[in-house]
Amino acid sequence: MKILVINTGSSSIKYQLFDMDRQKALSSGLAEKIGESTGKLTHIKHVEKETGLTKVIKETIPDHRKGLLKIVNLLLDSKYGSIKEKSEIRAIGHRVVHGGEKFQAPAIIDRGVITAIKKNIPLAPLHNPSNLTGIEVAKTIFPDSLQVAVFDTAFHQSIPPKAYLYALPYELYEKHKVRRYGFHGTSHGYVAQKAADYLSKPLSELNMITIHLGNGASMAALKNGRCADTTMGMTPLEGLVMGTRCGDIDPALPFFLANHLKMSLKEIDDLVNKDSGLKGICGTNDMREVIEKKNAGEPMAKTALEIYCYRIKKYIGAYFAVLESLDCLVFTGGIGENAQDIRALCCQGLTKLGIKIDINKNKSRGDMGNKTIQINSSDNEVNILVVPTNEELKIALETKELIGSRSRLET
């Protein structure tokens, strides 16, 4: 069974084609700068035991439909393609950022699902419209393929009211669904299951904290395998310090900026989402550059790293209290998987919680590929794992599972 996974942004289409019988990616790529004068499509055909065949096309991509058609042509290409007919693609799994309260699991896309995604646009104005565009375009190009929506927010729908409600007038929740939703759900769910597999224990028997560190960053507390709390809130702005997002701040700060600095709402929105975080403190949102600057003796880079890790460490302590006991701590995402210094700083001084990193094991990241590695000291209670995330594969797996459930119901 072949499944195509699509992640549509406002000016991009990220995709992977999977052979689900082997759980292997056949092709992957990115169409970017859609609608601009300098479009670019990078396509990779994955070849066994080789680096793969890469095709880069630099030309204008007028809209998402034209972009997806170019992608299809490459998937069918005699040299760079992985299929001979579009009909080989059984289903298309779409990443949808916000499913609100309606979706606790993936859903086969019909009019009702599309209507629900549209209703959640006020909760994710930058993402849901683009996700809908990808769905509509894919339906016209792949009319015979099953279309499935996989929601970033679904994994966090097990969070109890005491964790998802804000201390605001309750009618704001009743009328406008103002609450914590959480994001990066596909990543948290994927690495949690991988961690359970590695430990040879059922996920339902484990308490763990999953830490997804990329340009966007979030943490989740899992009690008996189900999400009990998460750092991101109604939007992806809340919680940890990120590449360009500030994370937790005093809610009164925007009023100060508006009243005393005469900043508009748009300017404040751009400030906290695009110009804050690591970038705001030391001038770059690339963690590799931050570490290089810190090693070169730049004081603000050192401060940025201290703030970044302090916030994570503080949430580890908070989530330990929420869970009451902890079996496993998981690092994932581009930073979580590659930055050994960040992992070490986040866990420093937590030995009384049973959390202690082995310095030598922590250096073994190297070229781990898709392998999970264990980096805790052997004499400590809490397993500390580095688990490579694969959100696209998770979407494909959930799409396949939904197809199987549907087939069983129909027989």
**Active-site residues: which are they?**
152
Q: What angle do CA 12, 16, 22 make, to 5 degrees?
A: 170
Angle, CA of 358, 362 and 294, to the nearest 5°? 115
* Start-to-end C-alpha separation, the chain: 19
List alpha helices for 86-127, DSSP H.
111-119
Contact 41, 62 (CB under 8 A): no
DSSP letter at 338 equals H
C-alpha pair distances (Å), 100 with each of 103, 118, 229, 369: 7, 11, 16, 34
* Collapsed DSSP state (helix, strand, coil) of residue 230: strand
Q: Which residue has the tokens 């190297």?
A: 366
Residue 54's φ and ψ, nearest 5 degrees, are: -115, 135
- 160-167 LR contacts (CB < 8 Å, sep 24+): 160/228, 163/228, 163/229, 163/322, 166/233, 166/234
Contacts of the segment 348-355: beta carbons below 8 A, 24+ positions apart: 348/309, 348/313, 349/313, 350/313, 350/316, 350/317, 351/380, 353/316, 353/317, 353/320, 353/326, 353/382, 354/326, 354/380, 354/381, 354/382, 355/316, 355/326, 355/329, 355/380, 355/382, 355/384
The rounded Cα 173 to chain-centroid distance in angstroms is 25
Q: Which residue from 285, 282, 277, 179 is spatially nearest to 232, judged by alpha carbons? A: 179
Question: Quick check: 211 and 179 in contact, CB under 8 A?
Answer: no
CA–centroid distance for 32 within its chain: 19
What the block records as the tokens of 202 is: 């059922």
